[in-house]
Amino acid sequence: MATTQVTDASFEAEVLKSEDPVVVDFWAEWCGPCKMIAPALEEISEEMNGAVKITKLNIDENQDMAMKYGVRSIPMLILFKDGEPMATQVGAAPKGKLSDWIKSAI
């Protein structure tokens, strides 16, 4: 299962009401570090299929959720569990570090 796009409109259904833990990648098209971690997130999504859902929210197109969760720097990853933010990772990181962060949070 590859990463999926979420929007302000689909956030509640896709993230907050999800039965599985969800990682939301707050990103933007112009963000170099965001593009650097995208392939790693795709791979992690495939490897952890079923254990966690990885989604991407473009902050330029969906500013409500970015403001609600205090996104000031991107990339910013927030792991949600049972509709609540449980862990945050700010900035680009190698795939291994991102994977370990997700595993430790779920």
Separation between Cα atoms, residue 88 and residue 26, nearest integer Å? 11
> Which runs of consecutive H residues, i.e. helices, occur in 57-94?
63-68
**Of 15, 22, 34, 74, catalytic:** 34
Examine the residue annotation and report whether 53 is marked as an active-site residue of this protein.
Answer: no
Catalytic residue among 31, 57, 74, 105: 31
Q: Is residue 84 among the annotated active site residues?
A: no
Whole-Å CA distances, 66 to 28, 34, 56, 57, 77: 11, 15, 12, 8, 11
Catalytically active residues, by annotation: 31, 34
